[in-house]
Amino acid sequence: MPEIQHLDPPEELEYLKDIYGETQHDRLYEVLTDSFNVLQNRAQMLLSLITITLTITGFSGPQIAQSSLLARVAIIFGLFFVLLSALVLMAGPLRLNWCTRSREENIEQSLVKLIVQRNRRTDRYHLAAVLLVIGLIGYVGSVISFLAAG
């Protein structure tokens, strides 16, 4: 089976033009702006998980932390990574920046710039997801320790 080729932004634009047509700039622009919407929606989903974690911790966190040293360390570890995930989301995919705010020398360069921005935000989304999972592992570890302590 052939290996999947990852395209750099100019190559991706050429591939999109192969799909949608060389002169279909409006369609290409729409495809790229739709990808920002997908990122926004997924980032909001992660932010919802972060909010739930922080809310539950607000109610039960002190009791969990008092149960044992392991539970206290695990909940601090977990919350640190959950909050770090929120910061990455706010600085990345959830940062508001209009696609029409900047313009390059021509439409081709503007579209490539949008691809670059989308890719950066996607990378930050993936980082935030990993940080959140690490945080949730710590949080679940604290709950397990709490339950084990009885």
Q: Is 70 within the bounds of a domain?
A: yes
The count of domains in the chain is: 1
Cα separation of the two ends of the chain = 53
69-98 pLDDT per residue, tens: 999 999 999 999 999 999 999 998 888 777
Distance between CA atoms of residues 150 and 147, nearest Å: 5
Q: Would you state the pLDDT for residue 124?
A: 96
Task: Tell me the C-alpha to C-alpha distance, in Å, between residue 41 and each of 7, 20, 47.
Answer: 24, 25, 10
Give the residue carrying structure tokens 């949730």. 136
More confident residue, 22 or 82: 82
- 62 DSSP 8-state letter: H
pTM beyond 0.85: the answer is: yes
Distance between CA atoms of residues 31 and 124, nearest Å: 20
Task: Tell me the C-alpha to C-alpha distance, in Å, between residue 96 and each of 6, 27, 40, 92.
Answer: 27, 22, 10, 9
Q: Is 47 within the bounds of a domain?
A: yes
Q: Is 103 within the bounds of a domain?
A: yes
32-78 pLDDT per residue, tens: 999 999 999 999 999 999 999 999 988 888 999 999 999 999 999 99
Q: Is 119 within the bounds of a domain?
A: yes
Which amino acid belongs to residue 49? Answer: L
Distance between CA atoms of residues 35 and 2, nearest Å: 26
Which amino acid belongs to residue 83? Answer: L
Query: Can you give the residue range of the structural domain that contains 110?
Result: 36-149
Q: Is 10 within the bounds of a domain?
A: no
